[in-house]
Structure 1
Amino acid sequence: MKKKIVILGSTGSIGRNTLSIIRKDIKNFDIILLSTNKNIKRVINQAKEFKVKNIIISDSKNFLKAKKKYKNLDINFFNSFSKIDSILKKKKVFYSMNSIIGMDGLKPSLKLIKYSKNIAIVNKEAIICGWNLIKKELIRFKTKFIPIDSEHFSIYSLMGNNLNKNIDKIFITASGGPFLKRSIKNLNQIKKKDALNHPNWKMGKKISIDSSTMMNKVFEVIEAKKIFDLKYKDISILTHPKSYVHAIVKFKNALTKILIHEPDMRIPIYNSLYSEHNSKIPSKNIDLKILNNLELKKVDTKRFPLTNLINKLVEYDSLYETVLITVNDFFVLKFLSDKIKYNEMIKMIYKYSNYHEFLKFRKIKPKNVEDIYKLRNYVSLKLQTLSV
């Protein structure tokens, strides 16, 4: 029997990589739902190739356009993730991939959990801001959660059946982006094209900027803390220019495990999709040259000052994580829109992450999705008045 699959954000890089894996083993999979925001042409081509009957197009204008233009196709078009209930009809699918970008991915994650035996979530914002809500649903519906970010999937793989109480220390690695070895004196001359030029990974503009400032690693530390139920003191970041080592886990029994693989997101996706049995994926030989020169180093906080924000985090789930996400998104967008310079972006992110009116949210736990979305709107509006 074919395994039923759902892919949200199917037109993005993670979605396309997931489909590229399924394409080679299509006889064993049945994709029943795809989604996109605006990329109609690509999602229609995906639906035709994989014979998918259901598509969610979250952008209203593009939904109406697609529904009219492709009315003769045997495809059901939907404009809201609330329709997941009627699409899946109370039946559990084998595997759901949620790679929707931004805060918009939180509600679909919560909705999909009860319909999924296995759920893979790439969406940082959903995990960072709503993990306590996600975890509650995972337990309630006995759904297996699989993190897909290379660092978290590596930790997940290394831990195996070991409980977090057996973990002594976890190290996640950071390439350092395009500015790891650039003179700090020249950082004020950075152009947008320089910040977007990641040396190892092909990523979208937003995550490329986050990588260059290493704010993405602040977020990954938060994710690791939440997913694996650790303390912040148990997690460290190491710079590693080659992106070959993805995680190091030191256990209390004096054993330390390291996970390596090529900087290719298809590897964690493949292993999450085939987690229930052994399977083989074509891969390169171990690169001994890289292994003999890993260049693992502690983070230079003068070069990457935003990593100091980790010290502002509290051990329990709080709405402050939503503040961090919102502040970072706000000023990264300003930089990408050529409204502020690179150094100004970093200073503003740090300044407003420490704004006294925002720090109070460290004491408040998110009770529901509405709490998170209301705070995001509040912080965004506040930033518009404070940073003009």
Structure 2
Amino acid sequence: MNGWLRVSIVLLFVAVSPGDVLRADQLDAAVGKALFDRQWIPAPASTKATDGLGPLFSSRSCTGCHSRGEGAHVVTGDDEKPDIAGAVVRFGKKDGTTDPYYGLQLQTNAVPTLMPEGHARFLPDLKYNLTGPALADGVHTSVRLAPPLFGRAAFDEVPDEEILKRAVPGDRSGDGVKGRANVTAQGIGRYGWKAAHVTLDDQIAHAFAIDIGLSSPKMPFPYGDCTKLETACLALPNGESPEFDGREISVSMLGFVGSYIKTLREPGDAGDFPGAAIFAATGCADCHVPRLVARDGRQIPAFTDLLLHDMGPLLDDGVGEPGVKSSEWRTAPLIGHRLPSEQRRFLHDGSAATVEEAIGKHCGEAERSRNLFEALSPDDKKRLVEYVNGL
């Protein structure tokens, strides 16, 4: 996207006074926020910068799952019952293959003339219906929560060696913890519940394609998650255009959204040093590493090692990804949760309502830490939980 188009988007979507002068990085972030907030519409449309939605999709915008930079959260529906906004249903087998008809994800919305793939509720437990055929044999379902975005962009700045130095082929000091990097064809993964995406741009492109149905040079799929068996989806128009690298989202547009996400910074010190000491003593900090070293030597808040760990049977949902077992998860970053505790859910699927419940499901490599937590006094448990809730 060239300079004049970038400025045009800012003037169209962002309130900028004529006398204001923005630096290049501020301008990029302003364009990124406009794209992040954009309510996309189906193709064809008179404004090419806004069309290409779906045809099947989970959300019309990034804010649909990440309102104000936050992630999934509990809301009260029209029926006055709680449910999770910003959650999706994933389909897959243990080996990472997806459903031949529905693909990777249940798409609960569709453009006019097309039926959505189904609908879902997430609380108190996952319940969903399908408008098409049953899932293929061996395909499992699971929930994935959208994470908060505060502080996440900094993981782009973590060098490979900082991740690999904590990856241990065998047991770490006899405590059961191993950990391995997700080494993909593109490099070492940092983003996603299973570290499938190497860079922030990769993660953004994946979200645009799978959640909204917008193609980009990194994810050249103008029909999003629509499969070859969903012929009605494939028969509809798309919004690909020469102005956007031949796709619906250009490389520049991905970068602009990344520039906006970089403004969603994590405040530095987590405070509560007694709570931090208990967090370390129970072994939580072995994987939820408080700080990682960036390429320029800065220490960035993280509370993750960006490694995959086998978390045992209680967190094995049967949905693997290529090269990653269904029981393996990238250590979840604990930073950036700014919602009140009653609006939060924990773990990849939101199956835990509290920190205590989430710890209780830690098995496999984390079993020792779970046992150490359970052995704490009530006061120390309370302090550790308050510490985690405050990150």
| TM-score, normalising length: structure 1 | 0.27
1 or 2 for the larger relative contact order (CA 8 Å, sep ≥6)?
Answer: 2
Higher helix share: 1
Higher strand share: 1
